[in-house]
DNA sequence: ACCTGAACACCGTTCAAGT
DNA sequence: ACCTGAACACCGTTCAAGT
């Protein structure tokens, strides 16, 4: 066959298959030939729909961003709204990344020109300024939340340790006696740390917010 | 030449050259052939000193971990010490990563069996427990600090936006009108966000610490 | 022990050729 | 317009051969 009457491929089909391959086997497993084979097509065909392999991965990443709920920012317009919105958003964001951890390194490169990534950045910034944060602070909040959430997805703590008791010699690492157990409890550990960190972050931001708009002095 | 009387290579020389290549041209630029050429040697020679290319990158990453100052944890043994220690450590850690941003994705995979990475995890955990944090909380602090610090290095906010005004159509992204300026001010923006986030995190942890050991009730 | 060139099974991407 | 096979310049890694 040369050209079929109905196109065999579409951008959507390619992105879907690429996403499945990334989820199942990781970023390194995605080659144009492997992906094409999964779609029943030859390697170079993909280049009729995307300029590069990287553009395909960007599209996969953006599809993940698109699943992050932003609706909690809609009603934000005062001092009492921003905290719960940020909390709910952070959890939605993290959940989306946890569903597709292998693509996170691509997301970490930034929104660039990816529409869903940009919508996300726009929504946070808009909501924080609406809540009364000065623009420079709103930018910082968007940035630091990004650090924490992406960091939690890309730099899992528990998963970073090896499930091998002998790897952690007490003579070298006196406090890592239990570290080999982390791998087993990794969801528990990483989720606990995420919630603890998120709460600390929001508590700390609340202090800064209150310092920004001081209570009227009591008589 | 076949085998020279003095070895041409050593693990240290390889790690040093690999680090320079990563810093100068990025992770993707490191191929065994390119690295070997920089060392005046043929590709397969490297396999006499490292089992895989990945092991070389792990060694480069560990050399970066080794430059993180841990001395501030030495004297920690009470309630007033942990916060400044954590603050100083976070800055030292971030500075080390900022010097070698291209290797951060390798570091993000976790300490695994890398000695410097393990020493770092050991020191934080040891200091937090010494300061009176319960072990489960100490683990969480190590994890959440890791998320934030690695996240700030791997998921730069300012660098994530494109330096192109037309990329951010106000109709699509009403609040990103200034986003194209972020690239220019990226150090300022990312450093400001890091400090703001770190302060918030430590403020929040301080609240948790105080809740843990309540003040003796006032009569 | 430590280096070499040849070889293997892969890559991403280009391009002329087909319909 | 959209697919194909052939081709190019690369990869990581193995291995027999050399000293």
How big is chain B, counted in residues? 219
- In this predicted model, what pLDDT tens digit does every residue of A140-152 receive, in sequence order? 999 999 999 999 9
pLDDT mean across residues, chain A: 95
pLDDT reported for residue A216: 53
Please report whether residue B5 resides in a domain: no
* pLDDT value, residue B219: 46
Verify that B52 and B79 share a domain, yes or no.
no
The answer to the question of residue B219 being in a domain is: no
Which residues 158-217 of chain A have a CB under 7 Å from nucleic chain D?
none
For residue A219, pLDDT over 50 is answered with no
Let me know whether A118 and A208 are in one domain: yes
For residues A181 and A105, state if they share a domain. yes
* pLDDT score at A215: 60
Residue A4 is predicted with a pLDDT of: 83
DSSP structure string for A67-120: TS--GGGTT--STTTHHHHHHHHHHHHHHHHHHSGGGHHHHTT--BT-HHHHHH
**Structural domain harbouring A16:** 11-64
User: Is the shortest CB-to-strand distance from A5 to strand D under 7 Å?
Assistant: no
Q: Which of B45, B64, B83 is the last residue of a domain?
A: B64
Q: Tell whether A57 and A97 lie within a shared domain.
A: no
Q: Given an 8 Å threshold on Cβ–Cβ distance, is B204 in contact with A208?
A: no
**Which of B43, B64, B85 is where one domain is finished?**
B64
Is A4 a domain residue?
no
Domain shared by A176 and A86, yes or no: yes
Q: B125 burial class (0-12, 13-18, 19+ CB within 10 angstroms)?
A: buried
User: Are B88 and B169 within one domain?
Assistant: yes
B 104-123 residues with CB below 8 A of A?
Answer: 105, 107-113, 115, 117-119, 121-122
Question: Do B172 and A148 lie within an 8 Å CB cutoff?
Answer: no
The shortest CB-CB distance from A147 to any of B182, B197, B205 is to B197
Cross-chain Cβ contact A143/B190 below 8 Å: yes
* B197: in domain: yes
Residue B2 forms part of a structural domain: no
Judge if B187 and B203 occupy the same domain: yes
pLDDT digits (tens, 9 = 90+) for A24-67: 999 999 999 999 999 999 999 999 999 999 999 999 999 999 99
Q: Do B100 and B156 sit in the same domain of this protein?
A: yes
Chain A residue numbers with beta carbons less than 8 Å from the beta carbon of B190 are 143
User: By CA distance, what is A174's nearest residue in B?
Assistant: B122
- Say if CB B152 and CB B190 are below 8 A apart: yes
- Is the pTM here over 0.85, yes or no? yes
- A120 lies in the same domain as A187: yes
Q: In terms of Cα–Cα distance, which of B209, A107, B199, A180 is closest to A189?
A: A180
Query: Which residues does chain B have within 8 Å of residue A105's beta carbon, measured at their own beta carbons?
Result: 105, 154
Residues of chain B whose pLDDT is less than 70?
1-2, 215-219
H and E: helices and strands count for chain B:
8, 0
pLDDT, residue A167, reads 94
A151 reaches B (C-beta below 8 A): yes
Residues B85 and B16 in one domain: no
Q: In this structure, is residue B218 part of a structural domain?
A: no
- Domain with residue A94: its CATH number is 1.10.357.10
- Beta carbons of B173 and A148 less than 8 Å apart: no
Nearest to A81 by CA among A143, A122, A129: A129
Rounded average pLDDT over A99-124: 97
Of A150, A173, A205, nearest to B154 by CB-CB distance is A150
The long-range contacts involving A36-43, CB below 8 angstroms and separated by at least 24 positions, are A39/A8, A39/A9, A39/A13, A39/A14, A40/A8, A41/A8, A41/A9
Using the predicted structure, report yes or no on whether residue A185 has a pLDDT greater than 80: yes
Shortest CA gap B179–chain A (Å): 9
Chain A CB contacts of B155 under 8 Å are 107-108, 110, 146-147, 150-151, 154
Mean pLDDT of chain B: 95
| pLDDT tier at A68, thresholds 50, 70, 90 | very high
Burial class of A53 by CB neighbour count within 10 A (0 to 12, 13 to 18, 19+): middle
Q: Looking at the 3D structure of chain B, how many domains does it have?
A: 2
Statement to judge: residues B93 and B201 lie in one domain: yes
Whether B2 sits with its Cβ under 7 A from any strand D atom: the answer reads: yes
Q: Is residue B105 part of a domain?
A: yes
Of chain B residues 66-85, which have a CB less than 8 A from chain A? none
Q: Do residue A56 and residue A112 come from a single domain?
A: no
């Amino acid at each position: 066959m040369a050209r079929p009457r109905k196109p065999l491929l579409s951008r959507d089909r390619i992105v879907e298959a690429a996403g499945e391959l990334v989820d199942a086997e990781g970023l390194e497993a995605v080659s144009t030939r492997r992906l094409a084979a999964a779609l029943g097509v030859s390697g170079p065909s993909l280049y009729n729909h995307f300029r590069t392999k990287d553009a395909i991965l960007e599209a996969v990443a953006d599809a993940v961003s698109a699943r992050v709920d932003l609706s909690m920012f809609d009603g934000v317009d005062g001092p009492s709204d921003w905290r719960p919105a940020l909390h709910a958003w952070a959890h939605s964001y993290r959940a989306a990344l946890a569903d597709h951890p292998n693509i996170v390194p691509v997301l970490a490169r930034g929104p660039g020109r990816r529409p869903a990534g940009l919508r996300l950045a726009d929504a946070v910034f808009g909501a924080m300024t609406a809540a009364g944060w000065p623009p420079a602070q709103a930018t910082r909040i968007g940035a630091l939340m990004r650090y924490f959430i992406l960091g939690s997805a890309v730099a899992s703590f528990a998963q970073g340790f090896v499930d091998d008791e002998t790897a952690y010699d007490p003579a070298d690492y006196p406090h890592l006696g239990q570290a080999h157990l982390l791998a087993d409890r990794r969801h528990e550990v990483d989720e606990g740390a995420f919630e603890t960190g998120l709460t600390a972050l929001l508590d700390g931001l609340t202090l800064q917010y209150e310092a920004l708009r001081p209570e009227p002095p009591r008589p």
